[in-house]
Amino acid sequence: MSSTEQEHKDSNPEKEGEESGGFIDKVKDFIHDIGEKIEGAIGFGKPTADVTAIHIPTINLEKADIVVDVLVTNPNPIPIPLIDINYLVESDGRKLVSGLIPDAGTIQAHGSETVNIPLTLVYADIKDTYDDIKPGSVIPYRIKVDLIVDVPIFGRLTLPLEKTGEIPIPYKPDVDIEKIQFEKFSFEETTAILHLKLGNKNEFDLGLNALKSEIWLSDESIGSAELIEPTKIDKNGFGFTKIPVTFRPKDFGSALWDMIRGRGTGMP
């Protein structure tokens, strides 16, 4: 090689960089390709998760119980532990409730399981924190869930999930006794039907499935009465229902005559 050729070679570092860079890129591609082949041969992959349903099994004047169903699929040949579940429920960017569920179980190999995440919204806590959330209103909510799993090769992974909807903040209905209809009257046992007028102050229809009341004659309680048929009341409207009650008049003395004269009957 002549000195001119040697000088030309030494004076072209850009070409050397290209050759060097090309070699390094080829090595990286080779390693990545080998990694993918090993991963494919062993069968490891990232799990997936999806919110399939949101249930409200209990809702009353004090709280709402919410259950979020999350379907987790494990494509790996071994079970993977579900280390933690972080959840947050917010409305218009404001936190309503949050929490952590540790050691949430294991997802079996090559399987799918539904993980149930229970949440509870306590209305008193919400109203104490946010004065503008009033009873009788419907508020939007956003549920955010992070599932943290431990997968071989990948390590710890966080699977973020999100779901939106609306939930009512119930206001108790107004209850008035319109009349008392006696079905059977004797001093040993009297059966009557209480005709109730129910007022719904909520911005949503109210399905009344249970109503427990205590009946008083003057200052004496004659027992309790319960709703026997569900009743639907339109929003900001009125509904009517009947409640049967049975008592023994001879046990209540003058309180009975006060009731017959239309005085001293009440429902707390």
pLDDT digits (tens, 9 = 90+) for 96-152: 999 999 888 888 988 998 999 999 999 888 888 888 888 888 889 999 999 998 887
Please check whether residues 160 and 233 belong to one and the same domain: no
Fill in the DSSP letter of residue 185: -
Percentage of residues in the chain having pLDDT higher than 70:
74
- State residue 8's pLDDT score: 47
What is the extent of the structural domain holding 94? 44-169
3-state secondary structure of 147: strand
Q: Is residue 189 part of a domain?
A: yes
**Where is the domain boundary, 169, 195, 218?**
169
How high does pLDDT run on average in the chain?
77
Give 191's pLDDT tier (boundaries 50, 70, 90).
Answer: confident
β-pairing, 206-208 with 63-74? unpaired
80 to 42, 111, 240, 265: CA distances (angstroms):
15, 10, 55, 63
Q: Is residue 147 part of a domain?
A: yes
Q: How many structural domains comprise the chain? A: 2
Instruction: Give pTM, 2 decimals.
Output: 0.60
Please check whether residues 70 and 100 belong to one and the same domain: yes
3-state secondary structure of 28: helix
Please check whether residues 223 and 182 belong to one and the same domain: yes
Q: Is residue 28 part of a domain?
A: no
Is residue 25 predicted with pLDDT exceeding 50? yes
pLDDT digits (tens, 9 = 90+) for 214-264: 777 666 676 667 777 788 888 888 888 888 888 776 666 655 555 555 554
Task: Provide the CB-side half-sphere exposure for 90 (13 A, CA).
Answer: 9
Q: Amino acid letter at 11?
A: S
Look up residue 28 and give its two tokens: 């990286």
Q: Amino acid letter at 152?
A: P
Give the highest mean pLDDT range of 24-38, 60-74, 196-210, 214-228: 60-74
Fill in the DSSP letter of residue 77: S
Is residue 17 predicted with pLDDT exceeding 50? no
d(CA 239, CA 207): 10
41 to 13, 34, 44, 46: CA distances (angstroms):
42, 10, 8, 15
Torsion over CA: 74, 77, 108, 111 (sign): positive
d(CA 139, CA 165): 9
Is residue 2 predicted with pLDDT exceeding 50? no
Please check whether residues 149 and 210 belong to one and the same domain: no
Please check whether residues 55 and 162 belong to one and the same domain: yes
Q: Give the number of other CB atoms < 10 A from CB of residue 224.
A: 11
Nearest of 216, 238, 233 to residue 225 by alpha carbon: 216
Check which CATH number belongs to the domain holding 192 and give it: 2.60.40.10
- State residue 154's pLDDT score: 77
Q: Amino acid letter at 17?
A: G
- State residue 23's pLDDT score: 60
Contact 184, 170 (CB under 8 A): no
Check which CATH number belongs to the domain holding 118 and give it: 2.60.40.1820
pLDDT digits (tens, 9 = 90+) for 140-170: 999 999 999 888 777 888 999 999 998 888 8
Q: What Rg do the C-alpha atoms of the chain give, in angstroms?
A: 34
Q: Average pLDDT in the 176-196 region?
A: 81
